[in-house]
Structure 1
Amino acid sequence: MSDVAAMTPMQYLDKATSQLRELGVMPAKVEPAPINSLLEKISDLDQEKIALIARTLGQAEVFNEVVREQTAQMEIGKRYQQITDGFNSIRDDAKRLVDQVSDGKLDWLERGSNIWMKIARGDIADRFDKIRQIYLSVTKETRNQIERETKILDAYRDFRGALKQAEVMALEVLKKAEDKLDAARKRLDEASAKVAAYSGSEPAERAKLELERDEQLRRLQDEEKRYQIAKDLADNLTISYNTSEVIMARLMQTTSAKERVYAQAVTFFSTNDSVLTALKASFTGVFGLHESTKTLDAMKEGMSKSLEDLGKIGDKVQEEAVRAGYG
């Protein structure tokens, strides 16, 4: 025997609506469902069950609309493109800065472009920090959306529990409608048999039997209409539940995938934050190394040329001094 006890329709419905109220998405007023007028025609079959079915179907549009609206708003956006653009700009600007100083000097156009780069995009170290902040912002929002989405889907699953219970009750009501329809057919057959079997000569008596037969026919027609309403109700509840089951399975797969991606994202960042920091330090260090290297090269080249010039000037001065001293 299963240890899982199914809740009553009201328990399912109350649990589902309370979750929507906690999220602040439950409307204050629920409009009566159009099907209520049809349910009134078969309410005498089982007033309690019909009332519960009517309340469940009255909430159906609310839950469907909430799920449609809330899932449509669950968008992360395209901030991943900002991260991609950030890394691309870092690499492009790094290469450009190295190319600028490769000739050992910066002209006014290059200086102006560097100033504009810092104003428009920030320096490279700042852009690494911006990438980090975007990443943290996206993962935080993803977590919030997963929690909200999970609560909404849980509420919808509870509502589907109420919908399944409504299907069970509708099938029970259908059985009662079928029994009443069979009884009406039997009464009509009996009334028709009386008319057919009447062999008297009194027109009034025969007319009474025909009236009774016609009344039974009318009641049968009414029961057929009520039976058809009950049958349509049960059939459509069955179809609705089975169809939504497939869709809900897809939604749950999407939510599970999103949770998995979120877990991967958090794990990736937690284990690779040091890599991002190292990249930031390395790019900054590369520029420092490049500047130091170029400074050392400039010092060496300057001293070498100075010594060469000193040698040339010294030789010339000494030659002039010898001429002046010795004639």
Structure 2
Amino acid sequence: MRTHNNLFGRIAAFETLHAANQKARKGKRCRPSCLRFEAQLEDNLIQLQHELLAGEYQLSGYRSFAVHEPKTRTITALINYRDRVVQQALIDVIEPLFEPAFISDSYACRAGKGTHAGAHRVQRMMVSRLRSHGKLYALKADVRRYFASINHATLKTLLRKKIACRQTLLLIDGIIDSYHTPGHAGTGIPIGNLTSQLFANIYLDALDQRIKCRLSEKHYVRYMDDFVVLHHDKDRLRYLRIDIELFLASQLQLELNHKTQIFPVSVRHGRGLDFLGYHIWPHKRRLRKDSLKRFKRRVRQLQRRYAEGRTHFPQIKQQLASWIAHARHGDALPAVARYLNSHPFRRSHHDRH
């Protein structure tokens, strides 16, 4: 396997850092730390470049907060905006080294992929398996506490299969070692780091390669820590589950969630596959009920903000656009339209005057 050297000069180049800032500011432009950084952008980028080249750069630290959608979990995010710029510059240089080797059926955090493409691919696989064998079973699984369980030493080993540049590895190791899951030294990466999505895909690529190449299972799709294997033989899926559990434990220090299950998928009615926010059958797709409930809660939150004058229609449209697209792919657009038509956005009387 080819390794790459002389990467750090590209990471620390002013042009790379400037381009990285343009990406890192997405969704953060109104944050005080971003505003301060961009108020003297050129000076701050030059200072960042100097610290990187001199080996003086230090990550500032993290803050933690809880989010409750789609489920309650703790997010650990960078305190200082400048660290986002460094991480984006690192991603821009090293991601192209790993991306070509990823399987095509890994759909999280990759250009041209995503939940809609993943769900469509699963449906095509279902149709193909049914056409050739007449019956269909699914192994539906996810990795238990995935981000919190990633082993630092194993992650570093996987990264070194492609990267040989000493300064780049020092930067990467510093990011990895800057955080650990409370009570578990040497384990865990923060969900809020820009690098974490790439690191997480690299980590489970070992599983992808085993299932697709070593075990020759072509009907396999993964979205971050969730994955599904489709087959006509239930016993084959039982064997795969055991193999996957042993591989995860021995090679990646991970384990499957206890909710992992094998079940038949109905052709048109009955049980479908709950995956990527949809209930999926071979010839139809439905949005999950809890997804529609979350949408309604989000609309009510935005309506309160709009009534109080704290947001405007362009921002509302932007925030709802991706969700409406998600609903469209799950045949839920009529239900969404009915809800929005019956719950219009209105300014409060005080705000109008």
TM tier, smaller: under 0.3
The structure, 1 or 2, with the larger RCO (C-alpha pairs under 8 Å, 6+ apart) is 1
> Given the two structures, how large is their TM-score scaled by the length of structure 1?
0.21
Greater Rg over alpha carbons, structure:
1
Structure with the higher helix share, 1 or 2? 1
> Given the two structures, how large is their TM-score scaled by the length of structure 2?
0.20
